A and B are shown apart, each in its own frame.
Chain A
């Protein structure tokens, strides 16, 4: 009983309740919602946002933001499919994709830490450059994958679970441990909470921020690779608005945009709530015109309730 009470008072209680309530309403309205096939869909969709979302959480915790995650879905997806078609090797395509993501992330990180450009502006710029690059490189024509087995990454299963879900779960576990049980994780919170104090305490603030951007780039690239596999193509229009979806989901999960505050578990719950909401609206055949309204309302409501809760506990 005491444990339950503690859980209900805990950081993520409101989010867990919101998610459960949403699931209960949807399962009452449509029996399909709780079917295994649909739950797999929800998890598969959530996994793409989650993989990029881990990187976004790390960057936001460090007190920065990365808007290039959506455009890198396009550039990395195209590069991966081109490499795949040229070499026939899935591994080479994956390494190429991750390498490209690393370069994008390092580029963003250097713009912020070395050139001193605000991360909102720096990544807004790289977002536009990457999208433009995808258009120039393909002349707006998608590149079709021509290698048998490529789609398996995005649509196949390991045991009963879709492959992207397993990848996302493993990454979540890994980064949960890194963020909450290693010095590096604590340093990241310190940097995001108060960069000046962290610097005075001798923490390598710039290096940590650079690493956060690099990680965000690599994880966004992994998500792009899986998306390209699901679609068996590199799409120059892929990931339009994806960065905002990811940011909205992690903020909904209680990660503070001012840095240094929030958890990976909360972000995961935020991602699940938004994915379940999107899924439910389609299952219920609600006109797409209402989808954005519903999403926006949920985000504002959740963040408002969260802020109230934190204020009540004297944390803001």
Chain B
């Protein structure tokens, strides 16, 4: 009886072992996203799932919902489930050192999205500062050719380093351009249209001379534009420069003949696709650069259709065109 029990126990354990590793050799990737309740991450996840299906990758996605403790515990669950590659969009990059070390000790590859974390194999995302500079250069050129003396309202999100870098880049490019300009005020719109509207409304009262708004995401810029309109200021004098083109909000503003003249496009779906491609490359044992950069470009209504094509009522990205923006890896 004792022997039978031991035999059954071994058989069950062996069965469990087979179950864990026996799913047809598919690469298993776990992704803990920081905030699924945002269109940007929705688009990243949609594209990642799509690319995973195309490449035969088993992708599991969990949401930390801006809670770093939840991110760590969900990542640990994924490690326990036997993922080969762990992908993280850090809620707080500084809080993930131990998790990354734990994952590496367990023999996993670790990819972070948007922020680097020491010890990870690579991080996938845009170069925020350089992208901010692209937006700044575009606006400096625009102001020069339209003889505008810019009085700029910046709607930022200073709690997040990515967003601070975007603003820094934007300001640096303006300073380097040699144009005469004034930063009328910088406010914190918390990345949300509602909050951006409120602070922009107050800032525009103090600075009705503002003729340019730069926001760190679509909601910030469009919230600022709504406040400008609500304040009864002359919209023909306003130039709004967005950052992100995260989804429908930005596309509608850019193509709707509004003051939203240009946006630094971050191509969220391409980021999602890149996450899976980087995971596959690591799974094959390929070495990746520390920063697996995804492309950005300033889009205006004129060049929009080079990178997006209409499908039904919406637009989808032209991945081939976006891929051509990449330097050779």
A interface, CB within 8 angstroms of B: 30, 32, 35, 37-38, 41, 45, 135, 139-142, 144, 151, 154-155, 227, 230-233, 235-240, 278-279, 282-283, 285, 287-289, 291
13 additional A-B pairs beyond A142-B219, A230-B226, A279-B202, beta carbons within 8 Å, are A41-B205, A140-B41, A142-B248, A230-B197, A231-B226, A239-B194, A240-B192, A278-B202, A282-B199, A282-B203, A283-B202, A283-B205, A287-B188
Residues of B within 8 Å of A, CB-based: how many? 33
Which residues B40-72 have CB closer than 8 A to chain A? Answer: 41-42
In whole angstroms, how far apart are the Cα atoms of A233 and B192 in the complex? 12
Contact A155 B230 (CB under 8 A): yes
Q: List 13 A-B contacts (CB under 8 A).
A: A38-B202, A45-B198, A140-B37, A140-B41, A141-B249, A154-B230, A155-B229, A231-B194, A231-B223, A235-B192, A237-B38, A283-B203, A283-B206
Tell me whether A142 and B249 are in contact in the complex, defined as CB-CB below 8 angstroms, given that A233-B193, A282-B199 are known contacts: yes
Tell me whether A236 and B37 are in contact in the complex, defined as CB-CB below 8 angstroms, given that A41-B201, A140-B42 are known contacts: yes
Q: Which residues of B contact A154 (CB under 8 A)?
A: 230
Q: Which residues of B contact A155 (CB under 8 A)?
A: 229-230
Shortest C-beta distance, A294 to chain B (Å), equals 14
Shortest C-beta distance, B205 to chain A (Å), equals 4
In whole angstroms, how far apart are the Cα atoms of A151 and B226 in the complex? 10
Q: Which residues of B contact A45 (CB under 8 A)?
A: 198, 201
Shortest C-beta distance, A154 to chain B (Å), equals 8
Which chain A residue has the least Cβ–Cβ distance from B231? A37
Q: Which residues of B contact A35 (CB under 8 A)?
A: 205
Q: Which residues of B contact A238 (CB under 8 A)?
A: 194
Contact B193 A142 (CB under 8 A): yes
B interface, CB within 8 angstroms of A: 36-39, 41-42, 158, 185-188, 192-194, 197-199, 201-203, 205-206, 208, 219, 223, 226, 229-231, 247-249, 252
In whole angstroms, how far apart are the Cα atoms of A41 and B231 in the complex? 9
Contact B36 A140 (CB under 8 A): yes
Q: Which residues of A contact B41 (CB under 8 A)?
A: 140
Which chain A residue has the least Cβ–Cβ distance from B223? A231
Which chain B residue has the least Cβ–Cβ distance from A144? B252
Tell me whether A140 and B38 are in contact in the complex, defined as CB-CB below 8 angstroms, given that A30-B206, A32-B205, A239-B194 are known contacts: yes
Shortest C-beta distance, B297 to chain A (Å), equals 23
Q: Which residues of B contact A230 (CB under 8 A)?
A: 197, 226, 230
Contact A141 B39 (CB under 8 A): yes
Contact B197 A289 (CB under 8 A): no
Shortest C-beta distance, B244 to chain A (Å), equals 13
Q: Which residues of B contact A139 (CB under 8 A)?
A: 42
3 A-B pairs closest in CB distance: A288-B188, A282-B202, A155-B230
Tell me whether A37 and B252 are in contact in the complex, defined as CB-CB below 8 angstroms, given that A140-B38, A237-B194, A289-B158 are known contacts: no
Shortest C-beta distance, B218 to chain A (Å), equals 9
In whole angstroms, how far apart are the Cα atoms of A230 and B227 in the complex? 9
Q: Which residues of A contact B194 (CB under 8 A)?
A: 227, 231, 235, 237-239
Contact A141 B247 (CB under 8 A): yes
Shortest C-beta distance, A48 to chain B (Å), equals 9
Shortest C-beta distance, B133 to chain A (Å), equals 24
In whole angstroms, how far apart are the Cα atoms of A238 and B194 in the complex? 6
Contact B42 A141 (CB under 8 A): yes
Tell me whether A237 and B37 are in contact in the complex, defined as CB-CB below 8 angstroms, given that A32-B206, A231-B193 are known contacts: yes
Shortest C-beta distance, B38 to chain A (Å), equals 6
In whole angstroms, how far apart are the Cα atoms of A35 and B202 in the complex? 12
Contact A285 B158 (CB under 8 A): no
In whole angstroms, how far apart are the Cα atoms of A140 and B219 in the complex? 12
Q: Which residues of A contact B231 (CB under 8 A)?
A: 37
Shortest C-beta distance, B217 to chain A (Å), equals 12
Shortest C-beta distance, A77 to chain B (Å), equals 9
In whole angstroms, how far apart are the Cα atoms of A114 and B218 in the complex? 44
Which chain B residue has the least Cβ–Cβ distance from A238? B194
Q: Which residues of B contact A285 (CB under 8 A)?
A: 185-186, 206
Q: Which residues of B contact A30 (CB under 8 A)?
A: 206
Shortest C-beta distance, B262 to chain A (Å), equals 20
In whole angstroms, how far apart are the Cα atoms of A31 and B192 in the complex? 29
Which chain A residue has the least Cβ–Cβ distance from B35? A140
> Which of B37, B208, B252 touches A135 (beta carbons < 8 Å)?
B37
